[in-house]
Amino acid sequence: MKGAEAIVKSLEREGVKHIFGILGGAIMEVYDVLYDNENIRHILMRHEQCAAHAAEGYARASGKVGVCMATSGPGATNLVTGIADAHMDSVPLVAFTGQVPLHLVGNDAFQEADVIGITMPITKHNFQITDPDDIPNIIRAAFKIASTRRCGPVLVDLPKDIQQKKLKRRFQYPKDVDLPGYKVVKSGGHPQQLKEIAKALMNAEKPVILAGGGVILSNASKELLKLAESLKIPVTTTLMGKGCFPEDHPLAMGMAGMHGRKVANLMVTESDLLFAIGVRFSDRVTANVKYFAPHAKLIHVDIDPSEIGKNVDVDIPVVGDAKLVLQNLIKITDKLKAKKKTEWHEKLKKFKKEFSPIYDYDDVPIRPQRVMKELNKIIDNKTIITTEVGQCQMWAAHYLNIKNPRSFISSGGLGTMGFGFPAAIGAKVAKPDFKVIDVGSEGSFMMTGQDLATCVVEDIPVVVVLLDNRYLGMVKQWQDLFYGKRRSHTYLGEVPDFVKYAEAFSAKGIPVERPSEIGPTLIEAIKSDEPVVIDIRVDPDEHILPMVQPGGRLDRMIEIGSTE
């Protein structure tokens, strides 16, 4: 068996059903084996960055490891942005890259790049295979590392001669591999710490739960709901945690942070106990840490010990898997009686009524809030929303009510423009029975929009909803608010015509100019069962508010109509 055959056979043994990639000279041996393979569907993307983002979308929608593949040199370096995005957002991903033959490594050969060195800071681990007999063990290790403990990307570099050489030993794929220094220990928290948490939750008069992406990664949403309901504790989420708690629930406050909901930010600020689980306390969540939950006892549960105490000081730290910690905590709290929190719940009701988002705008140009209202109408239990990055992302995060985990997919830590569309492709491949909608903007969509060709050729019917204001919207918003409205190089111009752009790829393009057209157009696009770009011309001067000023305080937000 040649190395290339062993690679594909190893992927089969891992249960891989889909690969997103683009071939080239240094990985043609693997692709030649894929030619006859009937168990793995390879989806030919039009840019390697899109392959990585599609694999991310696949992983985040399915809970499985996403797989992408590229050739050496520029193919490998084009994957880097997607790998970095997966690293920041803890997405389980295995990226395979072709490489020049081993005897040419370091010689500046054609299409050679030190992808191991380049990706070392943005992967959990990376491998360069130097012996074809190591292929099964290394690929097993790559998937194990990517999908256990704190998830993340792993890169496997495949020199061309290793793909061509034959294995000396009989192919045998291991059930597990022993990795010195890497132990998978599923901890549910120390019993004494759990008792302390339970006591603190019971005695707190103004508790808040802050839930992050770790809740989704550990499939702990049911446990979170049970704990919150049993103790009647309000819940807010980070951007990555959006969907881990149903946002139509009476205890739900929506997202917290810079572009979070005012009710969430005020409740966090006034809380006397903050139970944070599966979060990393990003600057976008905390704002100025000096004023973040200033009166609260802080409990932090995370699977990664390096995150605890990194950004905020913590009173009760717990290293453990979110699901197991919550399960163990529920066993304790079920036996105890919580203090009534009547005043706190009344404040929650008051704030939710007073600061609820306003959707009902009939203005022309269209306001993005109205688009979110129409999207909310069609979101059900079989809908996945992905987002591009910028204003469109924050309109979606702030205004859309997401009820289920793995149904809101957005680039959090890296904030990668161009992410949403290829992520939607991956999500649709993972969940073909779901409707998948990318909430985008023309600035972000133009970075990866060429993969409309992938959607058409591979029959992947995703819907792209463009909030088209002809600006790099979030940068323009900052310029308006903090730079005296000096809009330096953020105007994109009146090209392209996105309807014609879609049609050039044999996709469907639909223009929307009036609020009354939004709902029917969304329904038409979804029912068409083909790739669709909906171009909605929105007000270029509308800002996504309220917003916390950079370096500011959560309880002091810039609001609609503010002159700050």
191, two tokens: 């019993």
Catalytic residue among 12, 17, 28, 111: 111
6, two tokens: 């062993």
**Residue 160 appears among annotated catalytic residues:** yes
C-alpha R_g of the chain: 24
424, two tokens: 């939607």
**Residue 446 appears among annotated catalytic residues:** no
**Residue 193 appears among annotated catalytic residues:** no
Asked if omega into 496 is within 30° of 0 (cis), the reply is yes
Tell me which DSSP letter residue 106 carries.
T
Between the alpha carbon of residue 110 and those of residues 113, 116, 450, the distances in Å are 9, 17, 27
**Beta strand 66-70 with 18-21: parallel, antiparallel or unpaired?**
parallel
Nearest to 142 by CA among 154, 157, 158: 154
**Residue 111 appears among annotated catalytic residues:** yes
Angle at 478 between CA 474 and CA 480, to 5 degrees: 110
Catalytic residue among 258, 474, 547, 557: 474
Q: How far is Cα of residue 504 from the mean position of the Cα atoms in its chain?
A: 30
**Residue 281 appears among annotated catalytic residues:** no
**Beta strand 273-277 with 297-302: parallel, antiparallel or unpaired?**
parallel
Q: Which residues pair with 383 in a beta bridge?
A: 435
Calpha distance 332→457 (Å, rounded): 54
181, two tokens: 């220094």
Nearest to 142 by CA among 164, 163, 121, 157: 157
Amino acid in position 323: K
Catalytic residue among 5, 48, 112, 542: 48
Q: How far is Cα of residue 326 from the mean position of the Cα atoms in its chain?
A: 23
Calpha distance 467→477 (Å, rounded): 15
Catalytic residue among 2, 9, 160, 373: 160
Quick one: three-class SS letters along 285-324? Answer: HHCCHHHCCCCCEEEEEECCHHHCCCCCCCCEEEECCHHH
The residues annotated as belonging to the active site are: 48, 110-111, 160, 474
